[in-house]
Amino acid sequence: MDELRPIKDFSVLDSPGQIGSLAHADRLAILRTLGAEPRTGADLARALGLPANRVHYHLKQLLEQKLIEEVGRGRKLWKEERLFRSAARHYIVDPALGGSASEAESTLRASIEHAFLDWHREELLQIDLGRVARRMVETCLCARPGEQILVMHGPLGFDLAEHLHTELQAIGCLSHTRAWSPGTMRAMLERFSEEELSGLAFIPPALDAALDGVIFLSGNAPAGPPPAPELLAKLPALMHCVSTWQKSLYARRLRYLEFALPLRCEFNVQGSGPIKGATPEEAIGVFWRCIEVDQGSLAERAEALAALVAADGLLRLTCPLGTDLRLRVDCSRAFVLDGVLSPADLAAGRSFEGLPAGTLNYFPVPGTAEGVFRADYTFQGGAHVESVFLTLRAGRIVELRAERNEELLRRRLAAASGDADLLSGVRFGLNPAGRGPTGKPILDACLAGALTLHFGNNELQGGDVRSTLDLILPACYLSVDCGATRIVDGGRFTAALPRN
């Protein structure tokens, strides 16, 4: 039997037929048994003490309703046997079948997804949030007794934020909270006028002046229906308020650690052609392995890779699906994002870090990017834009097409201010946690062998591109040549790099 992809954590029952097929004690017992491991009909009959013909009848009904799946065939003596497993570990009735309003329905769905995301982390991966928070505070942020640290988060970051406050208190820090989420933004747009937002301090000045560091728990959760036009008109003023504060953090070299929360809605990229997206269950595992990686090994990998790139600095990116792009990178300004704000980073003027981590980053030499780049996808406005083709001339996007949600990306680019179409960063993934695409751009950018282009503002990384856009375009299966040397072949490093 071929290696199976992980079983789904849960499946949503969206038809009366599916629900009706479960109204039988024997079928529920069959599903529980098949959720543990694949079995044949004969195995099930013996395990459950049921007549074989009855078991085969139930299997036929469950298969028709897509509650189980055939995962292999084998021969036993002269007879061919079929192997089945449950389609999911748990089954949930679709909230829409209850006739609930659309807003309540979406809230219930989000709650279900979040609950199973936590369940997978705790029960299957055995990842303890307390341990993650301790590492973030002590190793990543390098917090010290007596410091004042701001923790920013929305509803989805509440559990991790609680652990962060506990860990900060344990080492003698004074912690503060700032709510920040799509809901917070909407409330501010409703409460303040555009003029008030323009003069608003994002953080009270007295608190801001006392801060030694910031931890931001970010998320790309869909924000529900868009705000009314009169509220959207005030959004630039609010975002200016936020970006002004962030730039002040950079100017003061305050430590800033961003943790990109995993959201199940991101982990559903379909893939295109020979490139298949990870299942949500696979992607969740990749995310937490990426977080738990030895961060010292990332720095070693970056050093080895940087030496290869520095030999020429001229990169050619290719893949059979259409990428053929040449560009030169500025090797003198290369930097590593390994998830740790070390004294050396601060001395070099780098005070911003993020998790997941593991990238070697370059600024492109202006005007050198020429050709076509195919990204596996990007994530914008709560949706995946898949199989994105960009034509670049002198480092700018001159043509764009995508196999899915192309118009969404076009609208985002058109609405952005500043140099939204200008290439602002090139990232090599270093983290050996797994392979993408997972559907979460910031995660795929970290994975070993992935190559990611970034468009939009790069001021917080020390660049000079200004824009309201943040566009991350990962490609997990490219080949990369540096001069005459191939350093990545089909998404895998050709050179021997230190391993985790």
CB count within 10 Å of CB 496 equals 7
Question: Using an 8 Å Cβ cutoff, are 6 and 282 in contact?
Answer: yes
C-alpha dihedral, 454 to 457 to 460 to 461, nearest 10°: 30
CA atoms within 13 A on the CB side of 169: 7
Q: What is the C-alpha to C-alpha distance for residues 305 and 468, in angstroms, rounded to an integer?
A: 31
The beta strand positions in 209-307, using DSSP E, are: 213-218, 255-260, 271-272, 275-276
Q: Which two tokens stand for residue 190?
A: 């409703």
Amino acid letter, 382 = G
Which pLDDT score is estimated for 500?
Answer: 47
Which pLDDT score is estimated for 468?
Answer: 81
Q: Which two tokens stand for residue 161?
A: 């934020």
3-state SS, residue 188: helix
Q: Domains along the chain? A: 8-93 (1.10.10.10), 126-260 (3.40.1830.10), 294-493 (no CATH)
Q: What is the C-alpha to C-alpha distance for residues 282 and 90, in angstroms, rounded to an integer?
A: 17
- Strand pairing report for 324-328 and 370-380: antiparallel
Q: What is the C-alpha to C-alpha distance for residues 387 and 404, in angstroms, rounded to an integer?
A: 7
Which pLDDT score is estimated for 222?
Answer: 60
Which pLDDT score is estimated for 275?
Answer: 73
Q: Is the peptide bond before 437 cis (omega within 30 degrees of 0)?
A: yes
Which pLDDT score is estimated for 270?
Answer: 76
CA atoms within 13 A on the CB side of 200: 21
Low-confidence ranges of the chain (pLDDT < 70): 1-3, 74-79, 98-103, 220-224, 272-273, 496, 498-500
CB count within 10 Å of CB 77 equals 5
CB count within 10 Å of CB 230 equals 10
Q: What is the C-alpha to C-alpha distance for residues 358 and 336, in angstroms, rounded to an integer?
A: 7
C-alpha dihedral, 465 to 469 to 475 to 478, nearest 10°: -30
Label residues 170-184 b or e (16+ Cβ within 10 Å = b): eeebebbeeebbbee
Question: Using an 8 Å Cβ cutoff, are 157 and 132 in contact?
Answer: no
Which pLDDT score is estimated for 111?
Answer: 86
**Cα-flanking dihedrals φ and ψ of residue 481, to 5°?**
-110, 135
DSSP type of residue 266: G
Which pLDDT score is estimated for 349?
Answer: 85
